[in-house]
Amino acid sequence: MKRRITFIQRPDAPFEADQAALTSKSLTIRNLDAAREDRITFGLDDLPQELRDVLQQSHELRFRWTTERSYDAVAPFASRVSPGLHIHYTPLAAEQSSEALCSLLRTVFSTGEGQEYGVDCLKPEDTFITPPLLSTRFAASASLQFYTQLPSLQPLVDFIKKSACSQRKVGDTECNERAASLLTADTVDIDYDSISHALTVSTIWANAPSGGWTEDIQKPSSGADQVEFGLLGTELGLEPQEIKMGGLLAVVGQDKKMKPTMFSFPSRHHPLPKEAGYTVSFSTPTGLHPTMAISISKAALERPPAPSDATCALHTYLTLPSSVFGDQYQLGTTDPLFLESHNLAALRAVSGETDLEAPDWAVERWGSNWLFELATWSPDPAQSNFTATIPLHLRYLDPSESGYQTANVPWPVAFWACTAEDGTKMGVNPFDRTNLGWDGLFGPRTMFYQLHPESEHLIESVEVPVLKLTGQGMFKAKNIELGTCVAILLGFLWVLWRLVRVAWSSGISSEKRPVRSDGHDKKD
């Protein structure tokens, strides 16, 4: 097992030399104000058997979980996905059906009886969606994608404690503490591919806890394990696509003192200034045809600091559950009047469930993804924000006692995508976060500049009117159900009666028709 702990300090964060002390057996940090990434790499032999069996059937399997809370995405951890759990999967064999994967997902992310959240999956080929392939030359997306709202990682923490920590003969207390720390994380990524045969878990905390990070990191008990430590700061590189980092590095238990370092690397993801933000809302009353409004600050409309020869466009990527959908024929139009009225430039990609008539209970797959390019003309100087609107639709949902159901819609991500014709191809980035679902829709030389969501909670709840199960009057559910059955029965009897009348009339006409002596009907 290999563990890498990286702290990223802001330029204005205080630091004293005694806040990080290295000895031959441990490294101690005290009251450290910094963002943090923990990356742990496991070999297959270190994993529970049920997990190992699923991984050995996978070409790649990637999880991307993001909290519903707002957080600061600092460089080099600037990339974002919509809050919830995103799963990207490619089976080892093209025609392979992996029911074991869905079984494992239901076990790991089960929330107990009466699940409001969890993974509703039977077979990946039935439940997952297939992302669009916009470039066969630069394809970087998994063959199947899945999304579900998951506000807390408590089910995953419980699974780790039961399966992994309970099997360890030593260090079970530390294992339980590490598992519990996931509950306060802002993002958690889990990656496996059949080339490396290794499972990597990357956890990011964008902000330090109250009082800063305080921890004693011990030397691994096994000689095969390794713990790397980095205390770094970031600044702009010499080139627009570069990030420059400097600070202290050490291998706990091997190095006698921390070593100063400075390096730079090209990065695909960059944060914009904090004032470059956006908000998401639905116009009220929503009815069955809600309109998502994405309000973008003036600072976010300014061209990002990309190379001068780069072509830049502002995008948003929507992750819609099955209860909410868009009309691809309406949104995919090239009508300039429609696009201008909604401040849209074009629909660039769509995948998933787009059936315009199916109710929610008839939809097998989890939902749909939409990539839009937004218009970037300057807003009215009298207005503080620029707003793009996306008309959506709600499916018919199951009845409820109140007459309403709630559809939870995660905030989309908003970003500038800049592609340079003669730009530098992205090289090795030790902190790169790839396979986000939307980054694979662009070429390998694309740089992304992330806008910051301006809200404490990144989920929008839409009240959907449905059939009311209880209530007074003739329109309560039981009466409607009974009335529907009576109407169907009466319709069937009427059709049957018409058929009988036609048959009876034909029989009488045949009997009255005169017959010639030679056996043939008389003709006029």
| Digit-coded pLDDT (tens) for 429-457 | 788 888 898 988 988 888 999 999 999 99
| Coil, strand or helix at 89 | strand
| Coil, strand or helix at 220 | coil
What would the two tokens of residue 85 be?
């759990």
Position 22 pLDDT exceeds 70: yes
Q: 519: exposed, middle or buried (C-beta count within 10 Å: 0-12, 13-18, 19+)?
A: exposed
- pLDDT for res 523: 47
- pLDDT for res 137: 44
Cβ pair 86, 147 in contact under 8 A: yes
Least confident of 123-132, 451-460, 462-471: 462-471
Q: Would you tell me how many other CB atoms lie within 10 Å of the CB of residue 454?
A: 15
What would the two tokens of residue 202 be?
């990357």
- pLDDT for res 485: 84
In angstroms and rounded to an integer, the radius of gyration of the C-alpha atoms of the chain is 30
Q: At 158, phi and psi to the nearest 5?
A: -60, -40
For the chain, the domains span 1-34+208-264, 47-130+141-185, 277-465, 476-524
| Digit-coded pLDDT (tens) for 292-347 | 999 999 899 999 988 888 899 999 999 999 999 999 999 999 999 999 999 999 99
Position 67 pLDDT exceeds 60: yes
Mean pLDDT of the chain: 85
Single pTM value for the model: 0.86
Pairwise CA distance, residues 456 & 83, whole Å = 12
DSSP tag of 137: S
Closest C-alpha to 434, from 150, 92, 75, 78:
78
- pLDDT for res 511: 61
State the helix-helix crossing angle for 154-163 and 99-108, rounded to 10 degrees.
Answer: 100
| Digit-coded pLDDT (tens) for 343-399 | 999 999 999 999 888 988 889 899 999 999 999 865 555 566 789 999 999 998 888
Q: Which residues pair with 262 in a beta bridge?
A: 246
Chain centroid, CA 390 distance in Å = 19
Pairwise CA distance, residues 134 & 392, whole Å = 24
